[in-house]
Structure 1
Amino acid sequence: MRKNKTYNKKKVVVIFFLCAAMLIGLVGRLVYLMVFRSDYYSKKADQLHERERDIKAARGKILDSNGVILAANKTVCTISVIHSQIEDQSAVIRMLVKELEIPEETARKRVEKRSSIERVKTNVDKEVGDRIREYGYSGVKVDEDFKRYYPYDTLASHVLGFTGSDNQGIIGLEVKYDDVLEGINGKILTTTDARGIELDTIGESRVEPVAGYNLRTSIDSNIQLYCEQAAKKVMQEHQADSVSILLMNPQNGEIYSCVSVPEFNLNDPFTLNYDVDTSGMTEEKIQDLCNQMWRNPCINDTYEPGSCFKVFTMSAALEEGVVKPDDTFTCGGYRVVEDRRIHCHKRTGHGTETFVQGAQNSCNPVFIDVGLRLGVDNFYKYLNRFGLMDKTGVDLPGEANTIMHKKSNVGPVELATMSFGQSFQVTPMQLAATASSLVNGGTRITPHFGVEVVDDDDNLVEKLKFKTKEGILSEKISDEVCDILESVVSEGSGKNAKIEGYKIGGKTATSQTLPRSANRYISSFLGFAPTDNPKVLGLLLINNPKGIYWGGTIAAPAMREIFENIFPYLGIEKAEVPVKSEDGE
């Protein structure tokens, strides 16, 4: 009996201490939750009774050099539904089908979905959004939003780019300067009861959005529009696959115009810019066609520059001192290098000519000789010095790099063909940027579109800066190159670009694309003016013209027409003709 009492007492004590330990644990847990984790669970509780909707911020505008709006915003609406608040589901479904022109099955799926808020459709015209709001249906939310709008449709489409449904940039300047253009979204906060129904007595609180900054560019919409029209005209006249035109300031790298026709409609960027039956195509195939359409040939694609590259061989050779303007050469219509016979474009040859005349005649044998005089080491030294082996750093995404032979693989034949612009590839942007650097006195510039960031009151937020590198070519040689290239236009193969009264320098080119057997060509002309102080440099490329394809015959006159129209606009005046005295001096 005594043993049982002692045993029961022990059981009571054990149970007591177990209960006490549990109680202490519960108290400790409560203290931890109520004191140390109170903020966390307070927020969780608020979230159960708060509903949050975004207020989209207006995206910053893209402006041309004169303040003309190239990319703006259009007010649209986002239509959403809240299942728990809808009183008449059938009426709401009928209204959504009618006003949004969506299938009944889609509308029903959105309305019947049990979620805190369900988005039905975005980018709805404001007029439609206003009509839906007038119905006054409970559980239907109409929030104002912004959709990107491009006033000129196709103008500078490959440069500006466009935005997606989330209003973020996808290609072009829209994505490159996304952090500048995008604003900070606001919020609408409403309080709900335990069933998720909004409480009208408490109302809603708002955090207002902050609009993005505006981007001012170097593009001149007047020049861009004219170049686009000129490119379409050239493309039609010569039945070409495409035409690209670049115009820039060779002194600082600001790009006035970048055209690649056919352009595409920025307000409808997923519709192909040519007639094609897509009914039997997969979505992947259609997307590939869109990606191809969006490519900017001036930046994303490379090509063999042909005789335009002779400007670089000329600059390097004169700087290195391996050739002088009055050095003489002989052209018999070809040059034999090792076991290869490399032809001049004039199969009968140019005979005896000076280096300057060789440039005027665009004579391949002359530049083969000059390239071989330079040698592989010097040739690659100047490729690097001029910046041709690196990307230009232009402020657009997807820039392609130069495709060049490995130095160790370059023999006499490769060096000979490279000297007149064959067997390697560059982008048109690289060609124009490097040419600008060689004729502006020898300062390597970075081509760019962005100039400054401003707010809606046109107050300066940031002046955009781009790298330069001085001394890639001496000023003396740069002036000499300008003089030689002026003679190419006044007396040589570029004479079809000549404009009376203006000092224009330039170089023609006709390059063959791969495979050579396809007999496809790119006709081009590189020109700048005035030669004594270049203010504009232009590059025009005609891809796969039908019939006549010589650059001097079809590209040079096209650039002349552009120059004739933009010189007065840019304030480039005719050169004064010196008056001769009576004694003839």
Structure 2
Amino acid sequence: MSPSRDGRSRDPRRPASSGRSGRGSAAKDGRQERPRASGGGEPQRRRTRRSPAGSGPARPGAAARPRGDGGPSGPAPPPRRRFRLVNPQRRIKLSLVMMVVIMLVFAGRLIQIQGIEAERYAAAAEQQRRTTIDIPTTRGAITDINGNPFAMSVESRLVFVDPTEIRADQRGELIGELSERFGLDTDAVAAKVDATPSRYQVIEQNVPPQEWKDLAAHGFQGLGAMVDYKRIYPDETGAADLIGFTNAEGQGAEGLEAVLDTTLAGEAGRQQVDLAASGTQIPMAGGLAKDPVPGKDARLTLDQDVQWHAEQAIAERSEELEADGGSVIVMRPDGEIVAMADYPTYSPQDIDSSTAEERSNGAVAEAFEPGSTNKVITAAGALEEGLTTPDTVYTVPYSIQRYDRTFKDDHFHETERMTLNGIIAKSSNVGTIQVGEQLGKDRLYTYLGKFGIGQPTGLDLPGENAGILTDPDDWWGTQLPSISFGQGLSVNAVQMASVYATVANDGVRVEPHVLAGTVDEDGEFTPAPDAKKERVISKETADELKLMLEAVTGEDGTAEKARIPGYRVAGKTGTANRVDPETGSYKGGGHTSSFVGFAPADDPQLIVQVVLHNPKKEYYAGKAAAPVFTDVMTFALKSLKIDSTGTDAPNIRLMENE
């Protein structure tokens, strides 16, 4: 026997207890059995391992190693844990307490939401679910001076479906009806009918009320309509370039529709609508929040009959002479525009089929050299400054040299002694240059500006081209003579019409205008503000110019074709070279043919300006443009019931020996 560590002997024939418990080794009450000695004696006493110092408590976690009865020592068994079962009654009570606390928290929150702050939370929920949308209003009409519409809004319907309300047994019939009635793709309609979770799918806009009524009679569930308005233009090409059109949102896009948009648009109403879960507006829900305010009608100074005739006349002549385009302005002496026709034009009912050039209002957008129509300004300045008189005689050769350029008259003639009357009547470039040199560049520039050249017309129309008039300090040697007879500067048709309206108005220039006033929903008319006025020349000078211009349509003038039986007519031809944009020179650029005049000459009531851009078959103004003037002026005088004065034209001295 080998001695143990405590000095006792251990029987080598019995293995020491391993200290590990096998099956059934644990007591039924959960306590471990104490290890027994190999000899079956009393259980060994559990000893506590002492610290190395021999005193103090045992090391934490250390258990006494069991020893056999005199057997060899073995490894110490691991300590065994003792488990205590929690009292189930306590667990249940704790759970109940926790549940009660949670229920009290929820109950308190519900009391707060549904009781104490119920109104606030209800309002917040309503605000999240409900919103407001604009209710379309009636856009004001654009009419002529007599109330005849150029543009107007008519009531229509916006047809939509609510997919959640559509009955399954009506689906196929509904898709077929909508596709056939509105000419829509069947698959596209089906996609809208089946859209989820949407409750609002637009099928068609601008549906006539009667057509919606016929559709609604089918009784389709989930099909609805909202009141809308459609913009229409009764006279399809009636002043289209001036009137313009609206875009898909009903806002003015071009022309007067854009310029007068604030006046025409009115104020949209407001309606409350509910929001579906998807965020889609449901127009059937909610109520009216604000009544829509209709837009005001814009009453123009135009006369629809004269406008229509002017458009026909310029279109026919442009096509006949193969011109690139043309325009006609009919104006009163006080600046009121009676007609503004342009070619080419377009139909505002079919914008997509038109080009930008066709939609451009050439009457203000197309700048051109005025040619001989500008000579009246040179004569007016010289007369007003007292430098000449209608009967002053000038020696006028066929051509003259100025610096490096030779200026000529349109037709060859021997050197003649012409009066100022004759220079204007026969449209002599050489004679006008002499008058212009009397006036000088600074004073000529001043009178050009007073007559409105080189500055906006005041119409504020989109795309307006104010033309070109350079500062006299920048004029070179030949510019004074060329500008004197209408080359080297550019104008638009309205500007030149305004020049002759100023002469016709006894020398007072009134800014051109096209708006007569507005009409509200009660039919009350409010006149437009008075146009700007400025005296440019005296009445005496204006009267002298009227006689000179009347001589132009006489037997010895350049525009005999501008005569109108029974009326005295005054006017001026203008034939000018066009600059070729590719070369920057006159060569190959073609010509601009124009005529502007007024009638009756001794009591002017109407001014008519005709411009043809690059006519191919005939470009001399007396033959190309003057016939259009006669046509339009004759119609306008009769349509507006303007009588002849019944007076005879006086004899006007054109040559020295007359």
TM-score where L is the length of structure 1 = 0.82
Judge conservation of contact 1:85–1:197 (CA < 8 Å) in 2. Answer: no
Secondary structure (helix, strand or coil) at the match of 2:230 reads strand
Aligned pair partner of 1:557 in 600, 604, 627? 627
Aligned pair partner of 1:384 in 418, 438, 449? 449
Q: Distance in 2 between matches of 1:579 and 1:174?
A: 44
- The 5-angstrom pairing of residues 175-186 of structure 1 reads 175-186=258-269
Query: What percentage of aligned pairs have identical amino acids?
Result: 30
Q: Distance in 1 between matches of 2:623 and 2:283?
A: 76
Render the CA deviation track for 1:117-162: whole Å, top value 9, x for unaligned: 4434322344443344345445443112111111111111111111
Q: Say which is worse superposed, 258-267 or 293-302, in terms of deviation.
A: 258-267
**Aligned-pair CA distance for 1:331:** 2.7
Q: Distance in 1 between matches of 2:649 and 2:365?
A: 49
Aligned pair partner of 1:62 in 135, 142, 152? 142
Aligned pair partner of 1:326 in 391, 397, 401? 391
2:325 match = 242
Q: Distance in 2 between matches of 1:356 and 1:151?
A: 47
Instruction: Say yes or no: does 1:263 pair with 2:363.
Output: no
Aligned pair partner of 2:548 in 474, 484, 504? 484
Instruction: Say yes or no: does 1:232 pair with 2:315.
Output: yes
Q: Say which is worse superposed, 292-301 or 99-108, in terms of deviation.
A: 99-108
Residue type at the aligned position of 2:553? V
- The 5-angstrom pairing of residues 184-333 of structure 1 reads 184-191=267-274, 204-205=287-288, 207-250=290-333, 252-272=334-354, 290-333=355-398
Secondary structure (helix, strand or coil) at the match of 1:228 reads helix
Output the aligned Cα RMSD: 3.2
Secondary structure (helix, strand or coil) at the match of 2:421 reads helix
1:280 match = none
Secondary structure (helix, strand or coil) at the match of 2:372 reads helix
2:130 match = 50
- The 5-angstrom pairing of residues 138-153 of structure 1 reads 138-153=221-236
1:19 match = none
1:475 match = 539
Q: Distance in 2 between matches of 1:423 and 1:198?
A: 61
Q: Distance in 2 between matches of 1:178 and 1:118?
A: 29
Residue type at the aligned position of 1:63? T
Residue type at the aligned position of 2:350? D
In structure 2, do the counterparts of structure 1 residues 526 and 202 end up closer, same or farther at CA, with 3 Å as the change threshold?
closer
Render the CA deviation track for 1:275-299: whole Å, top value 9, x for unaligned: xxxxxxxxxxxxxxx2211101101
Q: Say which is worse superposed, 340-349 or 234-243, in terms of deviation.
A: 234-243
Q: Say which is worse superposed, 112-121 or 163-172, in terms of deviation.
A: 112-121
Render the CA deviation track for 1:324-370: whole Å, top value 9, x for unaligned: 22222223221100121112111335522122111111000011111
1:154 match = 237
1:576 match = 646
Residue type at the aligned position of 1:259? A
**Aligned-pair CA distance for 1:104:** 3.9
- For the pair shown, the structure with the greater C-alpha radius of gyration is 2
Q: Distance in 2 between matches of 1:341 and 1:331?
A: 14
**Aligned-pair CA distance for 1:528:** 0.6
**Aligned-pair CA distance for 1:525:** 0.7
Instruction: Say yes or no: does 1:451 pair with 2:516.
Output: yes
Render the CA deviation track for 1:504-532: whole Å, top value 9, x for unaligned: 11100111212222252221111112233
2:409 match = 344
Residue type at the aligned position of 2:323? A
Q: Distance in 2 between matches of 1:326 and 1:387?
A: 27
Q: Distance in 2 between matches of 1:545 and 1:518?
A: 13
Q: Distance in 1 between matches of 2:390 and 2:261?
A: 49
Residue type at the aligned position of 2:264? L
In structure 2, do the counterparts of structure 1 residues 367 and 412 end up closer, same or farther at CA, with 3 Å as the change threshold?
farther
Q: Distance in 2 between matches of 1:217 and 1:348?
A: 48
**Aligned-pair CA distance for 1:249:** 0.4
Q: Distance in 2 between matches of 1:253 and 1:194?
A: 60
Secondary structure (helix, strand or coil) at the match of 2:227 reads strand
Q: Distance in 2 between matches of 1:424 and 1:467?
A: 26
Judge conservation of contact 1:190–1:205 (CA < 8 Å) in 2. Answer: no
Q: Distance in 1 between matches of 2:281 and 2:316?
A: 61
In structure 2, do the counterparts of structure 1 residues 453 and 43 end up closer, same or farther at CA, with 3 Å as the change threshold?
farther
Q: Distance in 1 between matches of 2:620 and 2:536?
A: 32
In structure 2, do the counterparts of structure 1 residues 432 and 343 end up closer, same or farther at CA, with 3 Å as the change threshold?
same
In structure 2, do the counterparts of structure 1 residues 123 and 194 end up closer, same or farther at CA, with 3 Å as the change threshold?
closer
State the number of aligned residues: 530
Judge conservation of contact 2:200–2:282 (CA < 8 Å) in 1. Answer: no
Judge conservation of contact 1:395–1:448 (CA < 8 Å) in 2. Answer: no
Render the CA deviation track for 1:159-181: whole Å, top value 9, x for unaligned: 11111221111111211111111
In structure 2, do the counterparts of structure 1 residues 103 and 466 end up closer, same or farther at CA, with 3 Å as the change threshold?
same
| Bigger helix share | 1
**Aligned-pair CA distance for 1:547:** 2.4
Give unmatched runs, 5+ long, in structure 1: 1-22, 273-289, 581-585
In structure 2, do the counterparts of structure 1 residues 554 and 124 end up closer, same or farther at CA, with 3 Å as the change threshold?
same
Judge conservation of contact 1:116–1:196 (CA < 8 Å) in 2. Answer: no
In structure 2, do the counterparts of structure 1 residues 202 and 154 end up closer, same or farther at CA, with 3 Å as the change threshold?
closer
Secondary structure (helix, strand or coil) at the match of 2:314 reads helix
Aligned pair partner of 2:424 in 342, 351, 359? 359
Q: Distance in 2 between matches of 1:481 and 1:200?
A: 67
Judge conservation of contact 1:79–1:119 (CA < 8 Å) in 2. Answer: yes
Residue type at the aligned position of 2:232? Y
Q: Distance in 1 between matches of 2:622 and 2:390?
A: 23
Q: Distance in 2 between matches of 1:496 and 1:199?
A: 68
In structure 2, do the counterparts of structure 1 residues 190 and 86 end up closer, same or farther at CA, with 3 Å as the change threshold?
farther
Q: Say which is worse superposed, 442-451 or 132-141, in terms of deviation.
A: 132-141
Aligned pair partner of 2:496 in 431, 451, 454? 431
Q: Distance in 1 between matches of 2:206 and 2:511?
A: 38
Render the CA deviation track for 1:180-207: whole Å, top value 9, x for unaligned: 1112223443457879899999874464
**Aligned-pair CA distance for 1:439:** 3.0
Q: Distance in 2 between matches of 1:447 and 1:408?
A: 29
TM-score where L is the length of structure 2 = 0.74
Secondary structure (helix, strand or coil) at the match of 1:507 reads strand
**Aligned-pair CA distance for 1:266:** 2.0
**Aligned-pair CA distance for 1:42:** 7.1
Secondary structure (helix, strand or coil) at the match of 2:395 reads strand
Residue type at the aligned position of 2:610? L
